[in-house]
Amino acid sequence: MTVDASRGAEAPPELVQLLTPEGVRVEHPDYDIDLTPEEVRSLYRDLVLVRRIDLEAVALQRQGELGIWASLLGQEAAQIGSGRALTDSDMAFPTYREHGVAWCRDVDPVKLLGLFRGVNHGGWDPEEHNFHLYTIVIGSQTLHAVGYAMGIQRDDASAATIAYFGDGATSQGDVNESFIWASVFNAPIVFFCQNNQWAISEPLEKQSRIPLYRRASGFGFPGIRVDGNDVFACLAVTRKALEAARTGQGPTLIEAFTYRMGAHTTTDDPTRYRVASELEAWKLKDPIERVKSYLFRNELADQGFFDAVTAEADQLGADLRRRCLAMPDPEPLDMFDHVYREPHALIDGERAQFAAYLEGFEK
């Protein structure tokens, strides 16, 4: 048996960063990005608005209006940076937490709430937005995404696919199988892993002994770690990886190193398994504050701009709340309608059984 002498004594992995937590712009030889002041203000607005959507959703769940909610708090930059890197013809496959990416794909946020309120099964048309339905089964969307990417390849289309998943998902067979298929077929796909350091109560060290981005080399494609709280870096790195995919250079694994600042979902209590100081340390790396500091520091925005974004966020939150409460309960039997495209004997049987059950209640 040979023993790897370097085990446990490796240099810390390089992190692509273009904006420090203090809001100072730094250069990277391979990942430069030239953003106009208007584009930076627009990214700031996106970050603030998706955080507001998330905050409103958490409040709605707490008031019993949603069954559950998976918060994106802390992951805004990873989602907006990668989401804004997509072109209209690219296709995204999300998990259940990609509300910021949904925003970039012009999915009405009230449709996201519908799913968590239990009044629809997704509510948006994936083809209209090039944004697939949310996937709860951990990692399974990576296989769907690779299949889609291979379709793009066979159509000879100039587009790429992006598959989102978490750190915990990297332990799933589906994700590893999708890496193999993507690699062997040189599929036009970007694997975007938001390493928020937790899979419910399981810490990252229970998933891997090496940094996640390095897994890619074993499958035969490049992997890169980016500061997931840096929207500039996430945008630059994802843009480059998507372009590589579109031009026949195959897959890339991006590990966006970030932190889940909230609970796993509203059913979870993270104070039972992680220490408060960890959260406090990550608050100093907040993805929104650093863009705000950058805008202030460089006099690219004045107080009037920040006040206007806050006012827009308040209005968005209030509007979302009003439209969420107005969503009607669906007819119970409607849930059988969209399971398969064609009629299916098993579904017909289940519908009949459930209809008989409903008949048993007094009207």
Ligand X SMILES: Cc1ncc(C[n+]2csc(CCOP(=O)(O)OP(=O)(O)O)c2C)c(N)n1
Residue 74 interaction partner, one of ligand X, Mg ion, none, beta carbon < 5-8 Å per kind: none
Residue 92 interaction partner, one of ligand X, Mg ion, none, beta carbon < 5-8 Å per kind: none
From the list 59-67, 191-199, 243-251, 304-312, the region that binds ligand X by CB under 6 A is: 191-199
- The yes-or-no answer on residue 225 being catalytic is no
Residue 106 zone, left/alpha/beta (φ > 0; ψ -120 to 50; rest): left
Record the tokens describing residue 281, joined without a space.
């340390």
| Closest listed residue to residue 68, CA positions, set 269, 270, 271, 265 | 265
Q: Measured from the CB atom, is 169 or 324 closer to ligand X? A: 169
Q: Give the residue carrying structure tokens 């004045």.
A: 302
* Residue type at position 203: P
- The yes-or-no answer on residue 144 being catalytic is no
DSSP assignment of 82-98: HHHH--TT-EEE--S--
Q: Find out whether 293 and 22 touch, Cβ atoms under 8 Å.
A: yes
Residue 134 interaction partner, one of Mg ion, ligand X, none, beta carbon < 5-8 Å per kind: none
Q: Measured from the CB atom, is 31 or 257 closer to ligand X? A: 257
Q: Measured from the CB atom, is 102 or 138 closer to ligand X? A: 138
Q: Find out whether 223 and 213 touch, Cβ atoms under 8 Å.
A: yes
To ligand X, the closest distance from the beta carbon of 328 in angstroms equals: 28
Among 167, 230, 255, 286, binds Mg ion (CB under 5 A): 167
- The interface with ligand X within residues 130-149 (CB under 6 A) comprises 136-138
- The interface with ligand X within residues 297-336 (CB under 6 A) comprises none
Q: Is 236 in the site for ligand X (CB under 6 A)?
A: no
Closest-approach residue to Mg ion (CB): 166
Q: Give the residue carrying structure tokens 């039997």.
A: 333
Q: Which of 25, 62, 273, 297 is catalytic?
A: 273
- The interface with Mg ion within residues 185-204 (CB under 5 A) comprises 196, 199
* Residue type at position 89: S
Helix (H, G, I), strand (E, B) or coil at 1: coil
Residue 138 interaction partner, one of ligand X, Mg ion, none, beta carbon < 5-8 Å per kind: ligand X
Query: At a CB cut-off of 8 Å and minimum separation 6, what does 300 contact?
Result: 37, 40, 41, 294
* Residue type at position 209: R
Distance CA 241, CA 85 (A): 10
What is the number of residues in the chain? 363
Residue 184 interaction partner, one of Mg ion, ligand X, none, beta carbon < 5-8 Å per kind: none
Instruction: Count residues near ligand X (CB under 6 A).
Output: 15
Among 50, 80, 189, 199, binds ligand X (CB under 6 A): 199
Strands (E), 43-104: 91-93
Q: Measured from the CB atom, is 271 or 298 closer to ligand X? A: 271
- The yes-or-no answer on residue 260 being catalytic is yes
Helix (H, G, I), strand (E, B) or coil at 105: coil
Pattern 250-289, ligand X, x by CB under 6 A = ----------x---x-------------------------
To ligand X, the closest distance from the beta carbon of 177 in angstroms equals: 13
Q: Which helix (H) or strand (E) holds 235?
A: helix 231-246
| Closest listed residue to residue 77, CA positions, set 214, 190, 226, 262 | 226
Among 31, 198, 282, 294, binds ligand X (CB under 6 A): 198
To Mg ion, the closest distance from the beta carbon of 169 in angstroms equals: 8
Record the tokens describing residue 206, joined without a space.
């229970």
From the list 36-44, 60-68, 166-174, 214-222, the region that binds ligand X by CB under 6 A is: 166-174
DSSP assignment of 239-271: HHHHHHHHTT---EEEEEE----S-SSTT--GG
Q: Which residues are catalytic?
A: 260, 264, 273
